[in-house]
């Protein structure tokens, strides 16, 4: 029997997907965002269908041949019911516990994974807030994480968040991270942590996360340090190679025809699946001013590896009043480098910080391109609150996620040290 886990603040499921790939079995996912919950439900249905050799039903769905309710009817009700759409808080805690108890049906929960929203701890979030996010209720969501540990007493937990958590201070001047570790100790867990850079583990992206691991009891030396992997002679453009070239406003959330691919990285990283369709290769539209700026930014990068400084633009192209900070707001993905800059959730608002390096396409990334940089498999389908899939919810879920490959490597190592 495989080890069971609960995913709290699950988002679109990047962390969960890595643990499932390593062999863990999800009991439930708890997530406040409705669109992300539909994504999780679709992914749980996908896993059940693949396990039972019914992949044709998934193919019908992503082609738009059947509706979302019809797709969910293809799997047992319990599969869809395992996703809990709720905001974790004092008022909801009891009902969430009761729901999870029902799903467990007397089984032991082996592991809890997840981390609360990172905006309140991030350096960027603090720099933009006049109170530096102190007093923001999201700062205290970790206390509810402690309540889940207190109730279910899993052997381990894996808590992830932005590296900025290490320096974030509460109103009393103490570090939130110290408060967290004290709470986890109080409820029975020794903790160990490290800052892991995704680029050291096969992800073609410069993305660092703090991974705090707790083990019930007082033993130490259990941290599941994942095996490093830096693909040789592979650059970021590898994730674009087999995707059709499209310009701004082109593409579709529905399956696209990909080009031939003779590389190995996309397979080794668990991204490419030749048996199932590639979706969400759809580019947002851009106005003529932004397209002109994109061309300048792409040319600067491709010719001289030089970033665009907003103040260097012709005055006729400048529309932002802020001329002293965030001057790199137009940033090209470094296609010829071993890893890109970080894909962030703000990509759901505009694509200026994630511009495709091909000047012939001259646009921001598609959700599928961003998902590949996050090592989501191509068969991962991102949902919206409405039946028609959309780019913005997909971008938000992708940008907030833990890279699947990093999660998988952590999960594999945790299995090795389990005991």
DSSP codes, 288-323: HHHHHHHHHHHHHHHHH--PPPGGGS-GGG---S--
The per-residue pLDDT for range 247-271, each reduced to its tens digit, is 999 999 999 999 999 999 999 999 9
Residue with tokens 């691991």: 213
- Answer whether residue 121 shows pLDDT above 60: no
In this predicted structure, what is the pLDDT of residue 376? 98
> Dmax over Cα atoms in the chain, in whole Å?
66
With respect to residue 323, please indicate whether it lies within any of the assigned structural domains: no
Distance in angstroms (rounded) separating the CA atoms of residues 383 and 62 = 11
**Minimum mean pLDDT among 64-68, 72-76, 344-348, 407-411: which range?**
344-348
* Between 123 and 254, residue with greater pLDDT: 254
- Answer whether residue 238 shows pLDDT above 80: yes
pLDDT band at 142 (very low <50, low <70, confident <90, very high): very high
Q: Which residues, at least 6 apart from 259, have a Cβ–Cβ distance to it below 8 Å?
A: 241, 242, 243, 244
pLDDT band at 124 (very low <50, low <70, confident <90, very high): low
With respect to residue 287, please indicate whether it lies within any of the assigned structural domains: no
The per-residue pLDDT for range 14-43, each reduced to its tens digit, is 999 999 999 999 999 999 999 999 999 999
pLDDT band at 171 (very low <50, low <70, confident <90, very high): confident
Q: Residue 102's domain spans which residues? A: 4-228+402-417
For residue 229, the 8-state DSSP code is B
Catalytic residue among 37, 94, 118, 256: 118
In this predicted structure, what is the pLDDT of residue 398? 98
Structure-token pair, residue 172: 């009393």
With respect to residue 196, please indicate whether it lies within any of the assigned structural domains: yes
Question: Are 347 and 399 a contacting pair, CB within 8 Å?
Answer: yes
Distance in angstroms (rounded) separating the CA atoms of residues 84 and 30 = 5
Distance in angstroms (rounded) separating the CA atoms of residues 190 and 79 = 33
pLDDT band at 419 (very low <50, low <70, confident <90, very high): confident
In this predicted structure, what is the pLDDT of residue 132? 47
Q: Which residues, at least 6 apart from 101, have a Cβ–Cβ distance to it below 8 Å?
A: none
In this predicted structure, what is the pLDDT of residue 328? 82
* Kind and range of the H or E run holding 409: helix 404-417
Question: Are 256 and 279 a contacting pair, CB within 8 Å?
Answer: yes
Convert 84-112 to b/e letters by CB count within 10 Å (16 or more is b).
Answer: bbeebeeebeeebeebbeebeeeeebbbb
For residue 277, the 8-state DSSP code is -
Give the number of domains in the chain.
Answer: 1
In this predicted structure, what is the pLDDT of residue 168? 87
Structure-token pair, residue 230: 């830096």
The per-residue pLDDT for range 175-185, each reduced to its tens digit, is 999 999 999 99
| Phi and psi torsions of 134, nearest 5° | -70, 135
pLDDT band at 323 (very low <50, low <70, confident <90, very high): confident
Q: Which residues, at least 6 apart from 278, have a Cβ–Cβ distance to it below 8 Å?
A: 243, 255, 256, 258, 368, 378
Strands (E), 202-311: 208-216, 251-252, 281-282
What's 169's domain CATH number? 3.40.50.150
Question: Are 211 and 19 a contacting pair, CB within 8 Å?
Answer: no
With respect to residue 348, please indicate whether it lies within any of the assigned structural domains: no
Distance in angstroms (rounded) separating the CA atoms of residues 207 and 261 = 26
Average pLDDT of the segment spanning 349-363: 96
Q: Please say if 94 is a catalytic residue.
A: no
In this predicted structure, what is the pLDDT of residue 211? 97
Question: Are 328 and 309 a contacting pair, CB within 8 Å?
Answer: yes
pLDDT band at 155 (very low <50, low <70, confident <90, very high): very high
Portion of the chain with pLDDT greater than 90, in percent? 88
With respect to residue 205, please indicate whether it lies within any of the assigned structural domains: yes
Average pLDDT of the chain to the nearest whole number: 93
With respect to residue 175, please indicate whether it lies within any of the assigned structural domains: yes
Portion of the chain with pLDDT greater than 70, in percent? 95
In this predicted structure, what is the pLDDT of residue 138? 57
With respect to residue 369, please indicate whether it lies within any of the assigned structural domains: no
Question: Are 174 and 154 a contacting pair, CB within 8 Å?
Answer: no
Question: Are 113 and 157 a contacting pair, CB within 8 Å?
Answer: yes
* Kind and range of the H or E run holding 149: helix 142-152
In this predicted structure, what is the pLDDT of residue 172? 86
Average pLDDT of the segment spanning 269-279: 96
Strand partners, 192: 213
For residue 98, the 8-state DSSP code is H
- Answer whether residue 127 shows pLDDT above 50: no
With respect to residue 268, please indicate whether it lies within any of the assigned structural domains: no
């Amino acid at each position: 029997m495989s080890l069971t886990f609960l995913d709290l603040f699950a988002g679109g499921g990047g962390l969960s997907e890595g643990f499932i790939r390593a062999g863990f079995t999800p009991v439930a996912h708890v997530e406040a965002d409705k669109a992300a919950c539909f994504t999780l439900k679709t992914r749980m249905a996908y896993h059940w269908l693949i396990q039972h050799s019914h992949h044709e039903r998934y193919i019908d769905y992503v082609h738009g041949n059947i509706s979302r309710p019809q797709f969910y009817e293809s799997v047992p009700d319990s599969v869809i019911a395992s996703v809990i759409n709720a905001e974790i808080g004092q008022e909801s805690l009891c009902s969430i516990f009761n729901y999870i108890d029902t799903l467990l049906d007397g089984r032991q929960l082996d592991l809890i994974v997840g981390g609360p929203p990172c905006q309140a701890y991030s350096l960027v979030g603090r720099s933009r807030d006049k109170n530096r996010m102190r007093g923001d209720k999201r700062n205290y969501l970790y206390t509810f994480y402690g309540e889940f540990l207190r109730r279910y007493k899993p052997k381990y937990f894996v808590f992830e968040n932005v590296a900025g958590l290490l320096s974030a201070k509460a109103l009393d001047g103490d570090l939130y991270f110290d408060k967290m570790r004290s709470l986890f100790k109080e409820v029975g867990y020794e903790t160990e942590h490290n800052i892991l850079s995704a680029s050291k583990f096969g992800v073609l992206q410069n993305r660092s996360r703090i991974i705090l691991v707790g083990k019930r009891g007082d033993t130490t030396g259990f941290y599941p340090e994942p095996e490093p992997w830096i693909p040789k002679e592979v650059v970021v453009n590898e994730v674009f190679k087999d995707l059709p070239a499209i310009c701004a406003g082109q593409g579709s959330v529905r399956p696209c025809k990909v080009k031939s691919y003779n590389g190995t990285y996309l397979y080794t990283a668990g991204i490419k699946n030749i048996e199932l369709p590639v979706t969400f290769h759809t580019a947002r539209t851009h106005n003529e001013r932004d397209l002109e700026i994109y061309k300048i930014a792409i040319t600067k990068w491709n010719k001289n590896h030089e970033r665009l400084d907003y103040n260097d633009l012709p005055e006729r192209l400048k529309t932002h009043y802020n001329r002293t900070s965030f001057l790199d707001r137009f940033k090209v993905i470094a296609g010829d480098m071993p890893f890109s800059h970080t894909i962030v959730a703000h990509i759901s608002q505009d694509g200026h910080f994630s511009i495709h390096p091909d000047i012939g396409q001259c646009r921001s990334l598609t959700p599928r391109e961003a998902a590949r940089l996050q090592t989501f498999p191509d068969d991962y389908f991102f949902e919206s609150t409405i039946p028609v899939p959309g780019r913005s919810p997909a971008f938000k879920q992708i940008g907030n996620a833990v890279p699947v490959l990093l999660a998988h490597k952590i999960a594999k190592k945790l299995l090795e040290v389990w005991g």
